[in-house]
């Protein structure tokens, strides 16, 4: 089986030359496009999640030989969470080569965070099955890049951190209010306002409510810390 021009370009961006190109094709096949003879990427996603976890755990241990488990765990979670996988997928333009069914494509599937994150994990598994752990680890470290060195900035969940800030000052937990929604149904943009009982508030916009809430909390924390 030979890769199309688009998939060859993606493999080059990824930094891996597939001896078994069918693995990459499967990794990029969403269930909405799969058939009995065209398997989807869900089993690869399951495996890729574990390969990514091991690669990141090793990377963190190497980068900080003194850190205790309590510091390593939030860094690890920040690096392997779905949002980070999706961000890496966007850097590689993975969405442009995803194989989607028509309905999923029309609903903006190429931009959906969950689909991108799942496919990124599946691609990692494809590299692992094609050439082993060392090859997969090399791809992961290159694709994640500076995120590994700068992970402390993202290690704490902003909503949790904001809630802890409020509780430490005797305030009720922050509220997250949807201020607006724009765009077509297949690609909505949500505006969320994070509000504290003391009156401080900030707004953020994203293509999911959860992402907008996290960004609003992050912005409010920066304002409070400033």
Q: What pLDDT digit, counting tens, does each position of 136-170 carry?
A: 999 999 999 999 988 875 566 788 889 988 998 99
pLDDT of residue 14: 96
Grouping H, G, I as helix, E, B as strand and the rest as coil, residue 20 is coil
Is 49 part of the annotated catalytic residue set? yes
Condensed to tens digits (0 to 9), the pLDDT of residues 36-51 reads 778 999 999 999 999 9
Give the model's confidence band at 95: pLDDT under 50 very low, under 70 low, under 90 confident, else very high: very high
Own/partner pairs for 46-49, CB < 8 Å, 24+ apart? 46/125, 47/125, 47/128, 47/129, 48/120, 48/121, 48/122, 48/123, 48/124, 48/125, 48/126, 48/128, 49/80, 49/121
Q: Given the residues 40, 45, 118, 121, select the one marked as catalytic.
A: 121
Most confident of 110-114, 183-187, 213-217: 213-217
Rounded CA separation 136/123 (Å) = 9
Cα first-last separation, the chain: 56
Most confident of 101-105, 180-184, 201-205: 201-205
Mean pLDDT of 95-124: 90
Mean pLDDT of 187-207: 91
Is 225 part of the annotated catalytic residue set? no
Do the Cβ atoms of 153 and 209 come closer than 8 Å?
Answer: no
Rounded CA separation 194/108 (Å) = 27
Pairing of strands 175-182, 201-206: unpaired
Rounded CA separation 176/163 (Å) = 11
Whether residue 34 has pLDDT greater than 90: no
All structural domains of the chain, each given as residue ranges with its CATH number in brackets, are 5-153 (1.10.1520.10), 158-225 (3.30.160.20)
Q: Given the residues 45, 49, 154, 193, select the one marked as catalytic.
A: 49
Backbone dihedral region for residue 98 (phi beyond 0: left; psi -120 to 50: alpha; all else: beta): beta
Pick 112 or 14 by higher pLDDT.
14
Rounded CA separation 46/164 (Å) = 33
pLDDT of residue 145: 93
Whether residue 88 has pLDDT greater than 90: yes
Mean pLDDT of 160-186: 89
Mean pLDDT of 100-124: 90
């Amino acid at each position: 089986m030979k890769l199309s021009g688009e998939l060859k370009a993606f493999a080059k961006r990824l930094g891996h030359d597939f001896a078994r190109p069918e693995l990459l094709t499967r990794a990029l096949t969403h269930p909405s496009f799969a058939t009995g003879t065209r398997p989807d990427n869900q089993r690869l996603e399951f495996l890729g999640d574990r390969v990514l976890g091991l690669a990141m755990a090793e990377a963190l241990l190497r980068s900080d030989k003194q850190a205790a488990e309590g510091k390593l765990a939030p860094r690890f979670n920040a690096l392997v969470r779905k949002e980070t996988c999706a961000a890496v997928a966007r850097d590689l333009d993975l969405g442009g080569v995803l194989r989607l069914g028509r309905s999923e494509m029309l609903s903006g599937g190429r931009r959906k965070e969950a689909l991108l994150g799942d496919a990124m994990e599946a691609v990692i598994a494809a590299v692992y099955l094609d050439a082993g752990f060392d090859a997969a680890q090399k791809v992961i470290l290159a694709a994640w890049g500076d995120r590994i060195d700068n992970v402390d900035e993202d290690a704490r969940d902003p909503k949790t951190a904001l809630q802890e800030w409020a509780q430490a000052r005797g305030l009720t937990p922050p509220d997250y209010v949807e201020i607006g929604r724009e765009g077509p149904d297949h690609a909505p943009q949500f505006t969320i306002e994070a509000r504290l009982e003391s009156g401080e508030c900030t707004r953020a916009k994203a293509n999911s409510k959860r992402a907008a809430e996290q960004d609003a909390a992050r912005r409010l924390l920066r304002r409070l810390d400033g």
